[in-house]
Amino acid sequence: MKAIAVVFGGRSAEHDVSIITAHIPIIESLKATGNFDVWPVYISKDGDWYADKAMNEMTFFKQPDYEAILKKQKKIHLSFDNGLELVWPGFRDRKVKIDVVFPAMHGTYGEDGSLMGLLRMAKVPFVGCDMAVSAVAMDKAFTKQVLFAEGVLVVPFVWFTHEDFVSKDGVLKEKIAKLKYPLFVKPVHLGSSIGITKVTGKSRHPGEGRDPELENAIEVAFHYDDKVLVEEGVENLIEVTLPIIGNDVLTLASVERPLNKTEFFDFKDKYLSGKGSGVNSEYSKIPADIGDDLTKQVQELGRKTYKTLGCSGIARVDFLIESTTKKIFVNEVNTLPGSLYVHNWKKSGVSGVGLVTKLVVLAEERFTSQQSLTHTFSSSILQKVGGPKVQ
Ligand SMILES: Nc1ncnc2c1ncn2[C@@H]1O[C@H](COP(=O)(O)OP(=O)(O)O)[C@@H](O)[C@H]1O
Ligand SMILES: [Mg+2]
């Protein structure tokens, strides 16, 4: 039986959402296959690592004092000995060798490529996108820059760091003034609509070039991140999303249209109202009711975006459609779609069990092809280096 570690939690604003993703459906489905020895690996908000099979049950995390319970447990260490081992240090270390890792972390230190870098160093196959694309996709500005350079339509945007904002206020104001209202202000690294504000332009003082609403929105975004994006809002908006799996050969799920009633999804809408993507599927239309033409274009753009960024395993591409002009903009790419979008895959005949099984196979395939690359290069430069020149 293969040992599989599902890694979740972590030092991220999306820590709690990650716990839900890890359990529903990842751990549940992996266990249901009967083919895996599933190890839940939980990273606390402080960055401590724990592994205990009791954490395979969601009920463990429903205990209000679960953090205190864990603090009494032994933290694990990781050992990289041509693969990954979980180690419970003690008089005689207890060890478990891990065959495949299934990252289930949203946000910083997990979905942003950090964990993937660690797993690459450990030489262990892992599910989902690799390090570079995870890092790019985690930054909404980088994503738009890469896609724009490759001819994928994204909304006009301006990005800046806090330092830029303080020191180049005038230059930035000029750039932002070129954008058409309504505007969206976003911290570039966060998800789940945290820190995002729609700026209507109602409070603008055209004569003075000031907009208190915009200034306030930027301040809110800088509260969460040191890099901020201001972009044009898409009007007559239809949002659709497309989950994709695969390495070289891609399989597309159905184009899905979320039916949010509020102006835009906020955190509460997504996760706490019971209708969000992590919970159930009542809130969306699958397939999206946007007609064959737009559906085909979205599928094509989805493939192009996935390939352009270098995704592998699984990702979800989100689109903003201007429904009168029928312009399609790629909004963002999620390298760990909440709940893996199992509700959508099911409509294409792929069960949760089928999905996780396929993702593990894709992880192993990518690993094998990476290992087959030559990573060494023999040369004689070391022998030719001259003697020490220190004086
Ligand atoms: N440029 C835009 N035009 C119109 N609506 C937008 C725009 N950008 C974001 N939104 C709305 O805000 C939501 C959250 O923004 P998004 O960029 O997807 O961030 P998150 O990472 O939080 O999902 C989107 O789902 C959409 O409803
Ligand atoms: Mg989004």
CB burial readout 108-132, b (16+ within 10 A) else e: bbbbbbbbbebbeebebbbbbbbbe
Q: How many CB atoms lie within 10 A of CB 48?
A: 15
The residue type found at 359 is: L
Our answer on whether the CB atom of 179 is closer than 6 Å to any ligand 1 atom is no
Which helix (H) or strand (E) is 217 found in, with range? helix 212-224
Q: What is the pLDDT of residues 339-374, one digit of tens each?
A: 899 999 999 999 999 999 999 999 999 999 998 887
Distance from residue 239's CA to the centre of ligand 2 (Å):
9
Q: How many alpha carbons fall within 13 Å on the CB side of residue 248?
A: 3
Q: Which ligand is nearest to the CA of 320?
A: 1
| Nearest ligand to residue 17 Cα | 1
pLDDT value at residue 380: 85
- Cβ-proximal residues to 187 (8 Å cutoff; 6+ apart), any chain: 194, 195, 196, 221, 222, 224, 225, 227, 228, 229
Higher pLDDT, 250 or 24: 250
- Which residues make Cβ contacts (< 8 Å) with residue 312, sequence separation at least 6? 128, 129, 130, 133, 246, 247, 362, 366
Cα of 332 vs centre of ligand 2, distance in Å, is 6
- Compute the distance from residue 330 Cα to the ligand 1 centre, in Å: 11
Closest listed residue to residue 173, CA positions, set 191, 160, 163, 189: 160
Query: Which CATH number is 2-127 given?
Result: 3.40.50.20
320 touches ligand 1 (CB under 6 Å) = yes
Render pLDDT for 272-292 as a digit per residue (tens, 0 to 9): 554 444 444 467 899 999 999
What pLDDT score was predicted for residue 198? 95
Ligand 1 atom nearest residue 263's Cα: 27
234 within ligand 1 shell (Cβ under 6 A):
yes
Q: Is the beta carbon of 157 within 6 A of some atom in ligand 1?
A: no
The answer to whether 289 touches 322, Cβ cutoff 8 Å, is no
Taken in order 6, 9, 12, 15, is the CA torsion positive or negative? positive
Question: What is the C-alpha to C-alpha distance for residues 86 and 76, in angstroms, rounded to an integer?
Answer: 6
Bridge partners of 242, per DSSP, are 317
Residue 389 is given by DSSP the state -
Contact at 8 Å (CB) between 342 and 358?
Answer: no
Which 3 state secondary structure label does DSSP give 137? helix
Kind plus residue range of the DSSP H or E element containing 252: strand 250-252
CA–CA distance, 260 with 318 (Å, rounded to integer): 14
Task: Write the pLDDT tens digit of every residue in 81-104.
Answer: 889 999 999 878 899 999 999 999
CA of 73 to the centre of ligand 2 (A): 36
Mutate to test the pocket of ligand 1, among 188, 277, 316, 331 (most ligand atoms within 8 A of CB): 331
Q: What is the pLDDT of residue 373?
A: 81
Would the CB of 191 count as within 6 Å of ligand 1? yes
Q: Indicate the range of 85-99, 120-134, 185-199 predicted with least confidence.
A: 185-199
Confidence of residue 269 (pLDDT cuts 50, 70, 90): low
Q: Whose CA is nearest to atom 14 of ligand 1?
A: 193
CATH architecture under which domain 156-232 falls: 2-Layer Sandwich (3.30)
Mean confidence (pLDDT) of the chain: 90
* Atom 1 of ligand 1, residue of closest alpha carbon: 233
Residue whose CA is at the smallest distance from ligand 1 atom 6: 233
Q: Which residues of 69-87 are buried (b: 16+ CB within 10 A; e: fewer)?
A: ebeeeeebebeeeeebbbe
pLDDT attached to residue 338: 81
- Hey, what long-range contacts does 349-358 have (CB within 8 A, 24 or more apart)? 350/253, 351/29, 352/25, 352/28, 352/29, 352/32, 353/29, 353/32, 353/33, 355/25, 355/29, 355/245, 356/25, 356/26, 356/29, 356/30, 356/33, 356/102, 357/33, 357/35, 358/245
* Domain residue spans of the chain: 2-127, 156-232, 237-335
Pick the CATH number of 237-335 from 3.30.470.20, 3.40.50.360, 3.30.590.20, 3.30.365.10: 3.30.470.20
Residue 287 CA to residue 240 CA, distance in Å, equals 10
* 87: DSSP letter: E
